[in-house]
Amino acid sequence: MTGSRVVAVGHHQPERVLTNAELATMVDTSDEWIRSRVGIESRRIAADDETVDAMAANAAAKALANAGLAATDIDYLVVATCTAIDRSPNMAARVAARLGMTTPAAIDVNTACSGFTHALATADHAIRAGAASKALVIGSEKLTDFTDWTDRSTCVLVGDGAGAVVLVAADEPEVGPVTWGSVPEMANAVRIEGRPGTFGQEGQAVFRWATTELPRIARQVCERSGVAPEDLGGVVLHQANLRIIEPLAKRLGAVNAVVARDVVESGNTSAASIPIALSKLVERRELPVGAPVLLFGFGGGLSYAGMVIRCP
């Protein structure tokens, strides 16, 4: 095999919806203040028993069903998360047990909000190297476990959920080469520090970096994949802020692409945001099968990773 392709997607979100109006009764904020700054209208909040691995397993089960595969068919499982409470066993091992897998390689990736695209790249590389043939890549986060609900600058942002894709070996690669990197001097710009840990960020610094540097890096992703921005069928960026997503897609020149705006209804779900948004677009058939789609994650570290895939 010379590459891999995404054959199916799936996602899980908690039933509990927290609106801006409800948040305004909890902290000094308002619907207009939140929408004007980040574009979020609502977010999903996980129940106590909706753990990171439980949500991951639910999303994965849907992706496997959509792929027509059994959990035992998977030989490489990777979970991207920065909100696992336990050190060991890792989330991938717990997901494998929940799904009844047999002997998969099972690893976690923690690069915060860019975790899913980093994880997808490692799975693609494993398949290209012949170390795997069928992979399950999941982003799952329960950011509300690490949220200070008295801090209006951060609590308005976060949501919970999970998304998954199934990746298989292919003669013709449909997952383009990854472009990834980091900005070490900004490593502390997004963080969950201490015990039990609270999510915090330097919002303005991240916003400036994202709006000035990301368009250039996103163009590099397209160039490495041999796809012109105007030929993209979809753009699925990390769902951090609508004021980052829309200008970036415009500056990139993705004039014909469907741009994911799931942040409006889901908030920032960190490593889960890209697979959730992609799964919804596929489920609603808003992306043509085979269309080139840019996936690009950025966040804590300050890390980033992106690639162009073909829509399943």
Instruction: Give catalytic residues, as residue numbers.
Output: 113, 238, 268
Nearest by Cα to 54 from 159, 176, 162: 162
Who's near 191: CB < 8 A, 6+ residues apart? 199, 200, 201, 300
Segment holding 20, helix H or strand E: helix 20-23
CA distances from 227 to 26, 121, 234, 253, 268 (A): 46, 18, 12, 12, 28
Evaluate whether 263 touches 245 at the Cβ level (below 8 Å). Answer: yes
Q: What is the C-alpha separation between 35 and 29, in angstroms, rounded?
A: 11
Question: Are β-strands 198-201 and 190-193 bridged in parallel, bridged antiparallel, or unpaired?
Answer: antiparallel
Beta bridge partners of 181: 304
CA distances from 128 to 79, 164, 168, 270, 291 (A): 19, 20, 10, 27, 22
